[in-house]
Amino acid sequence: NAGVTQTPKFQVLKTGQSMTLQCAQDMNHNSMYWYRQDPGMGLRLIYYSASEGTTDKGEVPNGYNVSRLNKREFSLRLESAAPSQTSVYFCASTIPQGQETQYFGPGTRLLVL
Amino acid sequence: DQQVKQNSPSLSVQEGRISILNCDYTNSMFDYFLWYKKYPAEGPTFLISISSIKDKNEDGRFTVFLNKSAKHLSLHIVPSQPGDSAVYFCAKEGGTSYGKLTFGQGTILTVHP
Contacts A–B by Cβ distance under 8 A? 64
Q: In this structure, what are the phi and psi dihedrals at residue A54, rounded to the nearest 5 degrees?
A: -125, 145
Q: In this structure, what are the phi and psi dihedrals at residue B111, rounded to the nearest 5 degrees?
A: -110, 115
Residue A3 has pLDDT above 60, yes or no: yes
Q: What is the separation of C-alpha B113 from the centre of its chain, rounded to a whole number of angstroms?
A: 23
User: Do the Cβ atoms of B41 and A90 come within 8 Å?
Assistant: no
User: Do the Cβ atoms of B98 and A50 come within 8 Å?
Assistant: yes
User: Do the Cβ atoms of A104 and B99 come within 8 Å?
Assistant: no
**A53/A106 Cα distance (integer angstroms):** 25
**A11/A111 Cα distance (integer angstroms):** 6
B93-108 pLDDT, tens digit per residue, is: 865 555 788 899 999 9
**A94/A29 Cα distance (integer angstroms):** 5
Residue B49 is given by DSSP the state E
A59-108 pLDDT, tens digit per residue, is: 999 999 999 989 999 999 999 999 999 999 999 998 766 556 889 999 99
Q: What is residue B3's predicted lDDT score, i.e. its pLDDT?
A: 86
Nearest CA in chain B to A101: B46
Nearest CA in chain B to A54: B98
Query: What is chain A's alpha carbon radius of gyration, rounded to the nearest angstrom?
Result: 13
Contact at 8 Å (CB) between B58 and B75? Answer: no
**B43/A15 Cα distance (integer angstroms):** 26
Q: In this structure, what are the phi and psi dihedrals at residue A47, rounded to the nearest 5 degrees?
A: -145, 160
